[in-house]
Chain A
Amino acid sequence: MSIVTVQLGQCGNQIGFEVFDALFNDSHCPGGLCSKRENEAYQASCKERFFSEEENGVPVARAVLVDMERKVISQTLSKAARSGRWKYGQHSCFCQKQGSGNNWAYGYSVHGPRHKESIMNLIQKEVEKCDSLSGFFIIMSMAGGTGSGLGAFVTQNLQDQYSSALKMNHIIWPYGTGEVIVQNYNSILTLSHLYRSSDALLVHENDAVHKICAKLMNIKQISFCDINQVLAHQLGSVFQPTYSREGSFHYRRNPLGDLMENLVPHPEFKMLGVRNIPQMSENSLAYSTFTWAGLLKHLRQMLISNAKMEEGIDWQVRPPLSGLPPLGKMSVNKETHFNTSIANLVILRGKDVHSADVGAFKDPALYTSWLEPVHAFNVWKTQRAFRKYEKSAALVSNSQSLVKPLDMIVGKAWNMFASRAYLHQYTKFGIEEEDFLDSFTLLEQVIASYCNL
């Protein structure tokens, strides 16, 4: 089954390129520590999900590119074409000339309705190229105007038009300081709208990925390209093919469906995060060896101590004693708090993958009490290695780890809202104070729900 990706705004398009590039390069990586036949099956599965065939044999990404001004899409198209190995469809783009001005209201209320038909037509064309549609992967930022506002509008329309297809929104959480001044307004409007129309929100925080670049990848002058490449690597390790069942060597057909089934048991809890181990510069890779036991131990501790990378993990944080409820409800202000999960998915790739022991993730103490661990935890595997990593593990979680960032954004937006600053820019385009209040209410509800796990 195939996934249609919708790339929105500068952020969405810049990331989208890196994602397809990472997926393609990995699937054409020679070796992969498995047989030729295995490799071919992997490649074919990846292709079915993400690429369609062009006439002269060059794979075309199953993607629709949308932006309200031209520069980024032009760059994205030419970068892909230059690689010579894959490209975007010539007619898969929708551009305008004037941008959204970082204004969520403009993206949602002006661009959305104005260009709805053209954009939905493009998506329809891409859907028709699929034999069978698994769902939509929508890449967007929360802070800007196009990704956030138009992204929310498009997602809503996808829900209306393709009610049986799944939608996963990949959201970029902006840096805490220094990107866009109205980012907190744009973020709360985006999140509240997506919560109503999307099936799952997969979040990447710029601050976290930036730290990975600095500490693990040892990059001196970090650019957005570096950040996007790390991000794409993490997404690739989630979305590349894995076996459909323990013992089977057939690749699973419906990645989005399976992700949703494993990770989003309840519509009140849709926020997902990704962790990946090991993550390092390619130079260091040659000198490192790992064991599954070591990788999984670190990954588990990253989960429960809410660390986003394998350096600086707080080993003091422990799950509460088995069988007993966690000590006290989560307060957003507590420093080292145990991160309770609703559901977790571990994805293992590489050598001796069948010998990896994931028992520690099945500990009921990790989870909230209303789901049995057998339902809350799943593991996917393939012995085909991912990129140059002999062994790698990814963890997708539905847990409390996004509560603190969410709370911070809501707090800052609330303070600004109380002063009425910038509101005239939104009311000008039909987003009124009530819409803001509705958003605040919904998000406070989400925060409370996660805190009470």
Chain B
Amino acid sequence: MTQSVVVQVGQCGNQIGCCFWDLALREHAAVNKKGIYDEAISSFFRNVDTRVVGDGGNISKGKICSLKARAVLIDMEEGVVNEILQGPLRDVFDRTGSGLGTFLLKVLKDEFPEVYRFVTSIYPSGEDDVITSPYNSILAMKELNEHADCVLPIDNQSLFDIISKIDLMMNSGKLGAAIKPKSLVTSSTGVFKKRQEKPFDAMNNIVANLLLNLTSSARFEGSLNMDLNEIIMNLVPFPQLHYLVSSLTPLYTLADVNIPPRRLDQMFSDAFSKDHQLIRADPKHSLYLACALMVRGNVQISDLRRNIERLKPSLQFVSWNQEGWKTSLCSVPPVGHSHSLLALANNTCVKPTFIDLRERFIRLYKKKAHLHHYLQIEGMEESCFTEAVSSLSALIQEYNQLDATKSMPVEDLPRLNIAM
């Protein structure tokens, strides 16, 4: 299976990264009882004999000696990687993440053109303390448009809402005792090196789980495998339209081991509800270009098909992709769960996020507020800004055109005529 390199940039990127590596170890430990360095674990970790200096220390098989994450940690400040600062500066769109992170995209594209670049980007929420975040966002979007193969936008407000919802369920007393602590998508119970709990841990764990589920079918066995390159192949119909809205369900599992089909079906229904999306979006009321369902655990093809048939009528797919479903079945569930579902939607419901971004940019740019900070950096000119905003406008226009086709009747096009 494929190996992936995780690049963590800036405070936000590194904080999420820390959560991710904790959970990845927990997941592999749950499956890999014998401590053998297997194919699954090699997708994210190297096996190194720490007594040997330099490259000679890499061990490709046998017992696990010392695992090293296939990761690159980047930041412009020393302290961030080791200790986490309190504060509101946690977006990828702060000085380091958005600028350096997206610059890296271009470098990776030039150096390794054949390797797919997946980006999870944290988009700024409405209430944002970083005044210049709209500038950062727009400039970063241009790079994401041009150099990323696939972007999974996430916003803090949605993560926060999801946490609140979980807390509410737990404290309502209705389900309290029946929820297994490890089964919370937000929990890091059972990880090896217990770091001090940080304020954004619960939210970061959600993102970390997203990444684990995304790669589960590439790492573990299943009756219908799906690798990362298949995600891009099936979910990106046109190169510019590569933004995928994601949702994770269930957010917790109840202690009850036997899952009646109704509960399983509930998991599928939830995946399409706007409360479970990781950005503010309502895919059900917008247009689908394509949808992927990545299932983990004891779920079979008949369960998957039954639910697709059931949910299809309430969803709108673009005329040329009426059966736009990509599915995978991975046998290994996430830690603490018996089954889980990650839905990735290429859907026009991302449009409002982009429109919002553009609006906030224009408000700031109109007054040229804070612009001089950027322009005094060598290489930055006003044209960078105008190009960036027109790139975003072009993208929004693409989505508009698709939305316009929404209520049109679907007709079959005339076929080739063969003379007999």
Contact = CB atoms under 8 A, between A and B. Distances in A.
A70 interface: yes
B223 A410 contact: no
A411 B412 contact: yes
B326 interface: yes
B290 A221 contact: no
B325 A210 contact: no
A102 B308 contact: no
B393 to A, nearest CB: 22
Interface stretch (A28-36, A151-159, A172-180, A378-386): A172-180
9 contacts: A69-B2, A101-B233, A178-B308, A178-B325, A181-B325, A222-B302, A416-B321, A418-B413, A422-B233
Contacts of B418: 441, 444-445, 448
B164 interface: no
Contacts of A453: none
A405 to B, nearest CB: 14
A410 B418 CA distance: 14
A322 interface: no
A69 B1 contact: yes
Nearest to A144: B230
Interface residues of A, number: 52
Interface in B282-337: 290, 300-305, 308-309, 312, 319-327, 329
B223 A69 contact: no
Contact of B321 (A71, A411, A421): A421
A424 interface: yes
Nearest to A448: B418
A452 interface: yes
Contacts of B225: 10, 69, 71-72
A373 to B, nearest CB: 25
Contact of A452 (B224, B233, B235, B420): B420
A180 B326 contact: yes
Interface stretch (A37-45, A162-170, A223-231, A309-317): A223-231
Interface string B215-242: 0000001011101011011111111000
Given A221-B300, A416-B320, A449-B420, 18 more contacts: A69-B2, A69-B225, A71-B221, A99-B2, A99-B227, A177-B308, A179-B326, A181-B325, A182-B233, A221-B303, A222-B301, A223-B301, A410-B415, A414-B415, A415-B320, A420-B238, A421-B321, A424-B238
B404 interface: no
Interface in A411-442: 411-412, 414-416, 418-422, 424-425, 440-441
A90 interface: no
B416 interface: yes
Leading 3 A-B pairs by shortest Cβ distance: A101-B229, A222-B302, A421-B237
A179 B295 CA distance: 13
Contacts of A10: 224-225
Interface string A78-92: 000000000000000
A49 B159 CA distance: 60
Contact of B323 (A14, A178, A440): A178
Contact of B39 (A70, A176, A418, A419): A70
Nearest to A75: B221
A98 B309 CA distance: 32
Contacts of A214: 302
Contacts of A14: 223
Contact of A181 (B239, B309, B326, B329): B326
Contact of A179 (B1, B227, B327, B420): B327
A179 B234 contact: no
A177 B233 contact: no
A406 to B, nearest CB: 12
A224 B2 contact: no
Interface string A375-412: 00000000000000000000000000000000000111
B265 to A, nearest CB: 13
Contact of B320 (A177, A418, A440): A418
